[in-house]
Amino acid sequence: MLIVGAKGMAQEILDILHNQNKTKDLVFFDDININDPDLLFDKFPIFRSISEVEEYFKNTDQKFSLGIGLPVPRKKFSNQFESLGGVLTKVISNSAIIGNYNTDIEAGVNIALNACISSSVHIKKGSFINAGCLIGHDTNIGEFSVICPSCNIGGYCDIGDLSFIGTGSIIYPNVKIGKNVSIAAGSIVRKNIPDNAIVHGNDGKVIKIKPAINC
């Protein structure tokens, strides 16, 4: 497998794969931190070029996972690497608790340790559910959204595509969060949030509307 990224979130995925004995032929991709060593932890190769990625997909393994923590880059890299022949693949920690009934986890979803996903939850392509999150029943998580550690999302919620929910936030049941929403760490959200909003505080206040994104 190839992991996109080689820093914090990518290393969290490495830990999951290590505990599952799935590190054979594992490589990373990072074309930003080009002055870093070319081996992660003196063991795992870090690719710097797209040509290396293409060769890997062709000759070694087509699977890749997204080890980056922001929604828009997750989608952009997914689109790019799928166009190169890669297959976006989910990585789920053995310690995560996943509902047994009517739970749908799409391609490329990452679920970190000790997350709890109830039954009748739908998590769409490429989203990241970080450590210790609670996702209530009958909730939908949109594509390429990032739910940071220790968030609590109540039942019957809808989280739009490309949204970011900061660490420790609480989303009350039956709340609908729009697309491209950013919720600051520790926020408490009791009411619906429109597309492109930035939300902050224990009153879940919309403090700004961002430009819509097109990706």
| Binding-site entries | 30-31, 69
| Cα angle 204, 202, 120; round to 5 | 65
Token readout for 14 is: 């490495």
| DSSP sequence for 157-208 | -EE-TT-EE-TT-EE-TT-EE-TT-EE-TT-EE-S-B-TTEEEETTTTEEEE
- In angstroms, rounded to a whole number, what is the distance separating the alpha carbons of residues 119 and 107? 18
Which residue is associated with the tokens 């909730």? 139
Given the residues 18, 122, 137, 200, the one annotated as active site: 137
Pairing of strands 176-177, 158-159: parallel
Active site residue 200: no
Is 108 exposed, middle or buried, given 0-12, 13-18 or 19+ CB atoms closer than 10 A? buried
Is 206 exposed, middle or buried, given 0-12, 13-18 or 19+ CB atoms closer than 10 A? middle
Binding residues for substrate: 30-31, 69
- In angstroms, rounded to a whole number, what is the distance separating the alpha carbons of residues 125 and 88? 9
- In angstroms, rounded to a whole number, what is the distance separating the alpha carbons of residues 117 and 103? 8
Q: Which residues are catalytic?
A: 137
